[in-house]
Amino acid sequence: MSGSTSGVNIDTATYAAMTIEYEHHEIHSGSSFACHYENFCTNAGEQTVIAFNTPNTTKWLHIVAVGSCTAVTRFSIVENPTIDNDEGTQLTIYNRDRNETTKTSGVTSIESTPVANKATSFNEAQAENANITETTQLDSIIIGSGGAGASGGIGGSARAGAEWILKQNTQYAFIAESMDANNNYHTIELTWYEHTNKE
């Protein structure tokens, strides 16, 4: 929430002048969310995945995706993948204002009856059973090499350059795929805020 004193916009949580980054303001307003998933893979081609459906509203997701690994990995964001329902596990979504108890995310899980405020995680076996097919690969980066730990964000190194505004009523998958047979510990971290454009 924001207020105004003598024409100056202020953040009502701190009374700071509204010169803070907008995404920081969204945390204060209770409209910022996060989820993460970790998985251990042992062979080339094995995948760790987070997927969800965006809501069919004009409250759009502004998202940043970061992947980390312990061996060479392709980390990608895919729009409109083909994913069989009911193969993954419901993944908890957290409001980034831990005092906020009423506002929840509009995303839904990858299930025959999608569950609101849940994403879906897939370990390597679940991803294989879900028959994930990549259609529109929006971005892809290679991280890690020869067992060296690494992390990377899709789109850029700073939030302003890394942020994607996702299409409403659309399915998305964030995929970490092992590129060799080294033991590989994947982590996927997603943070986003949900915002309606001003007219």
| Global confidence as pTM | 0.84
Report how far residue 94's alpha carbon sits from residue 191's, in angstroms, rounded to the nearest whole number.
10
pLDDT in tens, 61-104: 999 999 999 999 999 999 999 999 999 999 999 999 999 889 99
What is the span of the domain harbouring residue 4?
1-30
* Length in residues, the chain: 199
Residue located via tokens 């529109």: 136
64 and 147 in one domain?
yes
Nearest to 84 by CA among 134, 44, 48, 132: 132
User: Are 187 and 105 contained in the same domain?
Assistant: yes
Side-chain half-sphere exposure of 199, counting CA atoms within 13 A: 1
Percentage of residues in the chain with pLDDT exceeding 70? 77
Question: Is the predicted pLDDT of residue 1 greater than 50, yes or no?
Answer: no
The verdict on 47 and 106 lying in the same domain is yes
- Both 77 and 106 in one domain: the answer is yes
Query: Same domain for 118 and 74?
Result: yes
Position 8 confidence tier, pLDDT thresholds 50, 70, 90: low
Nearest to 71 by CA among 45, 49, 35: 45
d(CA 18, CA 27): 13
CATH number at residue 190: 2.60.120.380
Q: Tally Cβ neighbours within 10 Å of residue 192.
A: 27
Q: Are residues 7 and 56 in the same domain?
A: no
85 shares its domain with 12: no
The reply to whether 94 and 12 lie within a common domain is: no
Token representation of residue 199: 């007219």
Residue 25 shares a structural domain with residue 49: no
Shared-domain flag, residues 1 and 73? no
Read off the pLDDT band of 197 (50, 70, 90): confident
Strand arrangement of the beta sheet that strand 73-79 belongs to: 89-92, 118-122, 47-53, 171-178, 73-79, 136-143
Residues 2 and 86 occupy one common structural domain: no
Place of tokens 């399915």: 171
Q: How many distinct structural domains can be found in the chain?
A: 2
Q: In terms of domains, do 25 and 108 share one? A: no
36, 78, 162, 187 from 55: Cα distances, Å: 19, 17, 21, 25
Q: What is the mean pLDDT of the chain?
A: 86
